[in-house]
Amino acid sequence: MNSRTFSWLSFLHVVFTIKFLILLQSLDASSSSAEFYKTCGNTFSCGDTISGIGYPFRRQTDPIYCGHPNLALTCDGRSNATTIDIMSMTYRVLRIDQSTQTMRIVREDLMEGPCPQEMVNTTLDYSLFDYAGSYANFTFLYGCPASNFPGLSLTPCGRSGYSGVYVFPGTQGPGKCNASVIVPVLLGVEGGGGAENATRTTLNQVVQQGFEVRWKIDGKSCSDCTESKGRCGYDVGTNQTSCFCPDAPYVADTCTMLRGMRLNAIQFLT
Ligand SMILES: *[C@@H]1O[C@H](CO)[C@@H](O)[C@H](O)[C@H]1NC(C)=O
Ligand SMILES: *[C@@H]1O[C@H](CO)[C@@H](O)[C@H](O)[C@H]1NC(C)=O
Ligand SMILES: *[C@@H]1O[C@H](CO)[C@@H](O)[C@H](O)[C@H]1NC(C)=O
Ligand SMILES: *[C@@H]1O[C@H](CO)[C@@H](O)[C@H](O)[C@H]1NC(C)=O
Ligand SMILES: *[C@@H]1O[C@H](CO)[C@@H](O)[C@H](O)[C@H]1NC(C)=O
Ligand SMILES: *[C@@H]1O[C@H](CO)[C@@H](O)[C@H](O)[C@H]1NC(C)=O
């Protein structure tokens, strides 16, 4: 055996080792992660106002890795309403704009009028959302003394038994009343005259216009992923956006690099 044959043999050995490693890696990853690409990444519609929505949102019924865990939309087939839960409070989703990363939401418990079943302030999950656009806080006061209160007096809340319901611009505590609930409203809403001019009759309309929030998720990881022909998903291990690819190892930062590596390996083997 001359040295040339020997180097050929070691070369073949190296080639087969690499081939074997690639095979192992793909077998290891393929068990479940091969399904990620197929399962996630499709845009969806929800209700009759939300359409063409994708990552970081997912439907409540989608696997958890298809979107951010706290951006799951519930699509009600009967009412056509889309809702999302934020800090244990259910909000109706009126609009989603993925290009500006904003959505318009309104408290579900205020859709019928200013008498929530539970007295809870509106509180965002600030790790995920910020207020967007110009808004103002309104304070609803319940069970206020029957004296001449300065706020706008509203119809008493039948169910909860609260009479003396008032609304004030701004944020305030209950004072002499039993409870106060803070509700953000959009300023300068088209048509309605905006929150500045709210009257008893337009107040519900103003509240039901909702308010805008921006989700604080870096959109670049996902756009890099889709540009590399991957589909975006969420890695619940690292709490970050990850990229699902059609080929092994199926989960990566982007799919381009992998494509390149695979191509090199194939060229090397042939
Ligand atoms: C929901 O949407 C469908 C199709 O657009 C419509 O036929 C149906 O009447 C809507 N239901 C409600 C409760 O609005
Ligand atoms: C509205 O109220 C929240 C607390 O409920 C507060 O964090 C926020 O700064 C207030 N916004 C304005 C514009 O007053
Ligand atoms: C509001 O507070 C007053 C005085 O403490 C009390 O008498 C009344 O029952 C309370 N109303 C409700 C609905 O809790
Ligand atoms: C809402 O916030 C105000 C001001 O921060 C507070 O005084 C009030 O008790 C809160 N209301 C509820 C129902 O927690
Ligand atoms: C509110 O009403 C005042 C007086 O009627 C008017 O000048 C102002 O333009 C109104 N504001 C909005 C936002 O419509
Ligand atoms: C991911 O988020 C969960 C829930 O918020 C947290 O418990 C966990 O420590 C986070 N993991 C990492 C790696 O940041």
- Helix/strand/coil (H, E, C) string of 104-166? EEEEHHHCCCCCCCCCCCCCCCCCCEEEECCEEEEEEEECCCCCCCCCEEECCECCCCECCEE
Is position 56 within any domain?
Answer: no
Averaged pLDDT, 79-93? 95
**Average predicted confidence (pLDDT) for the chain:** 81
Q: What is the CA radius of gyration of the chain?
A: 27
Residue 100 sits in the same domain as residue 173: yes
Ligand 5 pocket residue status of 63, Cβ below 6 Å: no
Domain co-membership, 126 together with 141? yes
- Angle subtended at Cα 136 by Cα 133 and Cα 141, rounded to the nearest 5 degrees: 150
* 183 and 103 inside one domain: yes
Q: Give the residues across from 212 on adjacent strands.
A: 104, 132
Looking at the structure, do residues 148 and 182 belong to the same domain, yes or no? yes
| Strand ranges for the chain from DSSP E | 44-46, 50-53, 58-59, 72-75, 82-86, 89-97, 102-107, 129-132, 135-142, 152-154, 165-169, 179-186, 211-215, 231-235, 240-244, 251-252
The total number of structural domains in the chain stands at: 2
Which of 178, 199, 215 terminates a domain? The answer is 215
Residue 146 sits in the same domain as residue 239:
no
Same-domain pairing of 153 and 244: no
Together in a domain, 205 and 224: no
* Together in a domain, 142 and 13: no
Residues 148, 229: one domain? Answer: no
Q: Are residues 84 and 12 in the same domain?
A: no
Strands 58-59 and 72-75, by their bridges, are parallel
Q: Are residues 125 and 226 in the same domain?
A: no
Does residue 250 sit within a domain?
yes
For position 70, what pLDDT does the model report? Answer: 95
User: What is the per-residue pLDDT for 217?
Assistant: 93
pTM for the whole thing? 0.79
pLDDT tens digit sequence for 101-157: 999 999 999 998 888 888 999 999 999 999 998 899 999 999 888 766 777 777 778
Residue of the nearest CA to atom 1 in ligand 5?
197
Judged against a pLDDT cut of 60, whether residue 35 lies above it is answered with yes
Residues 6+ apart with CB under 8 A from 149: 141, 164, 166
Q: How confident is the model at residue 11 (pLDDT cuts 50, 70, 90)?
A: low
User: How confident is residue 61, by pLDDT bands cut at 50, 70 and 90?
Assistant: very high
* Substitution candidate for ligand 6 out of 239, 240, 241 with most atoms within 8 A of CB: 239
* 195 DSSP assignment: G
- The CA distances from residue 180 to 67, 125, 201, 205, 217, in Å, are 35, 20, 21, 20, 32
Q: Is the CB of 182 under 6 A from ligand 2?
A: yes
Measured CA to CA, the distance from residue 223 to residue 221 in angstroms comes to 6
Task: Give me the domain span that covers residue 243.
Answer: 3-38+218-269
pLDDT at 75 over 80: yes
Identify which of 50, 78, 80, 82 to mutate to test ligand 1's pocket (most ligand atoms within 8 A of the CB): 80
Q: What distance in Å separates the CA atoms of residue 202 and residue 221, rounded to the nearest whole number?
A: 42
249 upstream amide cis, omega within 30 of 0: yes
- 145 domain residue, yes or no: yes
pLDDT given at position 27: 40
171: CA distance to ligand 2 center in Å? 7
Same domain (yes/no): 211, 171: yes
